[in-house]
Amino acid sequence: MDFARSNAGGRATASTKIVVAGGFGVGKTTLVGSVSEIKPLRTEALVTNESEGVDDLDAVPTKATTTVAMDFGRITLAEDLVLYLFGTPGQRRFWFMWDDLCRGAIGAIVLVDTQRLNEAFSPLDYFEAKGIPFIVCVNEFEGAQKYAVEEIREALALPHEVPIMTIDARDRDSAKSALVRVTEFALEELTKTAAAVR
């Protein structure tokens, strides 16, 4: 965390970085845009015929744009805590950017779509390998079959300690609740790590 400035009460304001990751078309850009208090930076390009055979568009046939670098937004969670949000690109051909985007992050949200759970395994493996605390958020798309959270945990083989919740990435309060939870979880994990090295 960076302690960059003092707020009106004289306390230092902490700013930190959260990554929003997941497969292609799961709602990362939507989540960042729904909660950002600044106009979000988006690096989107049109999905063209060149994507055929490279990107799997079958599950998201109406998707017209795709993130090619990152999404960026900012939200003040409390008067002394500012989160900087970095959304990762979803297609595998842009995953080389993930290391740079995740550098310095205290935690991550892995967004999943129950219609395409198989696309969640690579992002989950990535954050486990990097040792970055993460939570799983099931983006409940209209018309998609709903499953109990514990069923999804079992399908993804998630350890019991990894938080999992359902959200609507379009809804500010819902997306904000995910940011609160990942921040809490990341701080819990950092505290455990600090206690273990004493």
pLDDT at 3: 41
Q: Residue 138: beta bridge partners? A: 112, 166
**Residue spans of the chain under pLDDT 70:** 1-11, 42-69, 90-95
pLDDT at 114: 93
Q: With 0.75 as the threshold, say if the pTM is over it.
A: yes
What gap in Å lies between CA 69 and CA 95, rounded to an integer? 9
What is the 8-class DSSP label of residue 144? P
pLDDT at 193: 85
With contact defined as beta carbons under 8 Å apart, do 111 and 139 qualify? Answer: yes
Counting Cα atoms < 13 Å in the Cβ hemisphere of 87 gives 31
pLDDT at 58: 56
The residue written with tokens 């990435």 in the block is: 169
pLDDT at 92: 65
The CATH number of the structural domain formed by 2-196 is 3.40.50.300
**In angstroms, what CA-CA distances link 112 with 43, 79, 90, 98?**
21, 30, 11, 17
Greatest distance between any 2 Cα atoms in the chain = 56
The residue written with tokens 């219609």 in the block is: 115
pLDDT at 150: 95
Q: Give me the amino acid identity at 104.
A: G
Q: Residue 46: beta bridge partners? A: 65
What gap in Å lies between CA 136 and CA 153, rounded to an integer? 9
